[in-house]
Amino acid sequence: MDPLQDVLNVVEATSYLSTAFIAGGDWAVRFEPPLGVKFNSVQRGHCLLAVDGQAAPIALAPDDCYLLTQPRAFTLASDLSLATVPAGRIFRENPARAGAGEEVVMVGGGFRFNERARSLLLDNLPPVLHVPGDRPEAETVRWALRHIGTELTGGGLGAGAIAEHLAMVMLIEVLRLHLAQRPGDTSGWLAGLADPLVADAIRAMHERPGQAWTVAELAAVSRVSRSTLAARFKQVVGQGPLEYLTAWRIELASQRLREGTQTLDRIARDVGYGSESALSTAFKRVMGSSPREYRRSSDTVGR
């Protein structure tokens, strides 16, 4: 079982693509804070990215991409000292254009998640993940981004669907690269996946969430002592192994409640609680409402 895939499924991740962006000459465009995760990739040319709250701008070159993981306003520009034009004004056209000429070509889009995504997937990431296109290890990212550009400009049968699936490939690969190269910049369960000692315990809990795990059993999976796993898990993930297990069980239960196809008793037993009442107690402690109340509210929102 792949914990990253598990979490992307639970947060109901979907991708979307926006119109291409073309710019040339002197230009500066101001973007409002996005919902979810925003990405852009440079197909041609060079420009600067400045994100609110970040000390230094990022120079973007051909094949570079970035993920904006937090809802922060940002500016793309040839020169950040220039007066900015609101993005909404230029994105009324397709493709969107800024300045004069076609020195810079970008494609972009984003990822939408359900309301629980920020705490699970986004809160523990840096506000901006920048992947330089000239890195050998970024080949998969470059491949996905080039094909996204090809699909968006080619307009063939199913181009939009293909491009959206490629965007998910890019998201997963960028997260992989970040974890491999800068694990210290991330905390929480994502950091746990990059930690060789903690990762085995996390995978075991995702493979068998219904098992009555003890810290000692998880330590045996990780081939370390109970005290070593408990200390390391707390240090890296920010909570103990059994706290994490409870949180993951509740996420799984929440997903199944939103789907609305299983009884509460079946959900309780599948995610590791012996009865509906045991699930209700844990669920209300974590979510602030009972499973039945959560299901009703999800049904209302879905209508």
Residue 32 pLDDT > 90, yes or no? yes
> What pLDDT digit, counting tens, does each position of 254-291 carry?
989 988 778 999 999 999 998 999 999 999 998 999 99
Residue whose C-alpha is closest to residue 254's, from 280, 226, 221, 216: 280
Q: Where are the domains of the chain?
A: 3-185, 195-303
Tokens of 200: 């085995």
Question: What is the average per-residue pLDDT within 65-82?
Answer: 94
Residue 165 pLDDT > 90, yes or no? no
Residue 224 pLDDT > 90, yes or no? yes
Q: Do domains 3-185 and 195-303 have the same CATH topology?
A: no
> In degrees rounded to 5, what are phi and psi of residue 226?
-60, -45
Residue 117 pLDDT > 70, yes or no? no
Residue 303 pLDDT > 50, yes or no? no
Tell me how crowded residue 67 is: count the other CB atoms within 10 A of its CB.
Answer: 23
What number does CATH give the domain 3-185?
2.60.120.280
Residue whose C-alpha is closest to residue 214's, from 199, 201, 223, 203: 201
- Select from 3.40.50.300, 1.10.10.60, 2.40.50.140, 1.10.2020.10 the CATH code of 195-303: 1.10.10.60
Tell me how crowded residue 116 is: count the other CB atoms within 10 A of its CB.
Answer: 18
Cβ pair 44, 117 in contact under 8 A: no
> What pLDDT digit, counting tens, does each position of 178-211 carry?
877 766 666 677 788 888 889 999 999 999 999 9
For residues 156 and 54, the model is more confident at 54
